[in-house]
Amino acid sequence: MESGAELDLAGVDEALELALKNFKESVVAWSDAELGRTRPAVKTVRQRSWQLAAGWALSVALVVGSVSGGVFDHHRRVEMAKAAAAAQAARQQAVAERQAREDDQDLLAKVDSDVSKEVPSAMEPLAQLMAEDDSR
């Protein structure tokens, strides 16, 4: 009985070995066929189009950033110029107001001295003669 079982196992071993050998040959043949097969360019085009789109997006972002930076800098300079002009105008107005106050004070002092005189300027020589007559 053992010899019959051994024959069956030997036949199974040979059949298994033959099946594995055929499987290996078919895998090798399939691998060689796949390596030699030309591949479609769709995948490459998609990858290149994605890279192209990414390149355009980055370049647009760079241009927008540069332009917005320039616009912001120009706006800042215009605002600084307006602020400087307003400060200069305020200084000039303060100087003009101070000059007007000084002129008003000078005019009030002149009016005060003119009002405080006993006689008008044109009559001062006569007033001096009168003052000399009073002292005699």
Q: What is the pLDDT of residues 115-134, one digit of tens each?
A: 776 777 777 787 777 766 65
Rounded to two decimals, the pTM is 0.40
User: Measured at the alpha carbon of residue 61, what is the angle toward residues 59 and 64, in degrees to the nearest 5?
Assistant: 110
CA neighbours closer than 13 Å in the CB half-sphere of residue 74:
6
CA terminus-to-terminus distance, the chain: 185
Domain count, the chain: 1
Q: Is residue 12 part of a domain?
A: yes
Q: Is residue 69 part of a domain?
A: no
Residue type at 77 in one-letter notation: R
Q: Is residue 28 part of a domain?
A: yes
Residue type at 104 in one-letter notation: D
Q: What is the pLDDT of residues 48-58, one digit of tens each?
A: 777 888 899 99
CA nearest to 41, candidates 30, 29, 49, 52: 49
